[in-house]
Every structure is written in structure tokens, then in C-alpha cells.
Chain A
Amino acid sequence: ETGVTQTPRHLVMGMTNKKSLKCEQHLGHNAMYWYKQSAKKPLELMFVYNFKEQTENNSVPSRFSPECPNSSHLFLHLHTLQPEDSALYLCASSQGMAGTYEQYFGPGTRLTVT
């Protein structure tokens, strides 16, 4: 089991709902990431945070809103999603920003938008 946890593991929501995904890392890392994994598409980076500051937004629609209150926690707030947003959302963390460090992934949240 990795040091990155995600809750909930499964989520079904309607298009008008508001929900949040939570990620917590217990590894003492400084960088955290959100990825989206859709069927038949490669993993896509969504957001990167370093020392609680957002350093990358990979052209993600505003209906996805990240929040990083500290280096150990990362949230993804969801509102007015579309069915095509159904996917596995993965959180990851790494020790630093240099690209030298491995990224450690959580188990993911399987999101279904109805």
C-alpha cells in the first residue's frame, strides 16, 4: 500500500451536484498532482502544486477547482460536471520539483457523472 490515500474510492454524482475529492500523502513530499485517466486515453496531468502553490494548470475546465491547504493535502472540488468527466482521478506526490524524484500515486477515485 502506498503512502498516498484518496477518498472516496468511488463517487457517483449528477451534473448539478457539488462534490470534492480528497488526497492525503504521508511521505513528507512537497509536490502533489491531480491526474485524469479516461478509458482509451493516456493519463493526463491536470494540476501541479509545489509547497502549496499551483505551478501548473493543464488547460483544465473551471468546473474542476483544486485546493492545496498544506503540503500533505490536496482537494479537487467538482461542480456542474459533464458525463465525459467520468474517469479515474489519480493523485500523486513527489519529494521535489526537479524531475529527479519518483511520483507516488494513490489508488484513485472512480467518478461517474450521470
Chain B
Amino acid sequence: KQEVTQIPAALSVPEGENLVLNCSFTDSAIYNLQWFRQDPGKGLTSLLLIQSSQREQTSGRLNASLDKSSGRSTLYIAASQPGDSATYLCAVVVAAGNKLTFGGGTRVLVKP
């Protein structure tokens, strides 16, 4: 059974510092991995999707890497801003279809 873990559960950084968020999964046979952002009490916004054949994806200040063999993905957010404060979730899709298995998320606070 695929399990997804995100450590730490919470993170606080001063504005301008780079953010590094970790995601690990137990079964390396994934189809893709997706990073989401969730603001309090709201739905999820997709940030980046990395196919299993890719090693990284970039969008603006966001960069996500994927190392399937070690079961890890890292989301980097450069030059953090207070507006980046949110919970960040990673989720993997197993090869058997469209089911997303989520991690517990990392709650990020960027202090001005």
C-alpha cells in the first residue's frame, strides 16, 4: 500500500528565505506526482505535476524535483513571500489509475 509522508508538518520562515518542502513515498512505482497548495478552509490549487519520466518541473518561483528510486520529491519556493503562506500537499498517482494518495501536508508560514 502506497504511503505518502511530508515532514515537517509545519514550517515558519522569514520573508525572502527559500522554502524547501519534502515529500516521500513508499512505493516507487508511481505514474506521476502532483504538488498542491491549500489555503485555510478552501480547496486545493494544483501547482506542479511531474510525470514519472521527468526529474523536475518549474513554474515561476516554484521548482519540484522527483527521485523515484529513493521515493522522494522536493518542492522549492524561491524568495518566499507572505502570500506563500498556506498548506502544501503532495500526492502520487499509482500506475493502476487515477487515484491520488495524499501526504498530510506541510503548513507554511512566511513572516513579513
Q: Which residues of A contact B (CB under 8 A)?
A: 2, 4, 6, 31, 33, 40-45, 48, 50, 55-56, 58, 88, 90, 92, 94, 97-108, 110
Contacts and interface: CB of A to CB of B under 8 A. Distances in A.
Contacts, number: 69
Contacts of A44: 102
B45 A94 contact: no
Contact of A42 (B43, B46, B98, B103): B103
B97 A100 contact: no
A-B pairs, top 8 by smallest CB distance, nearest first, are A43-B102, A105-B43, A99-B31, A105-B44, A99-B93, A107-B43, A42-B102, A102-B46
Nearest to A43: B102
B71 interface: no
A88 B46 contact: no
Q: Chain B interface secondary structure, helix, strand, loop or mixed?
A: strand
B4 interface: yes
Interface of B: 4, 31-32, 34, 36, 41-46, 49, 51, 89, 91, 93-95, 97-105
B45 A2 contact: yes
A30 to B, nearest CB: 11
A90 B43 contact: yes
Residue in A2, A31, A48, A99 whose Cβ sees the most chain B Cβ within 10 Å: A99
Nearest to A104: B46
B102 A100 contact: no
A108 B34 CA distance: 19
B43 A99 contact: no
Nearest to B93: A99
Given A102-B34, A107-B42, 14 more contacts: A2-B43, A6-B43, A31-B98, A43-B91, A45-B101, A58-B99, A97-B98, A99-B94, A99-B97, A99-B98, A100-B51, A102-B49, A105-B46, A108-B42
Contacts of A94: 98
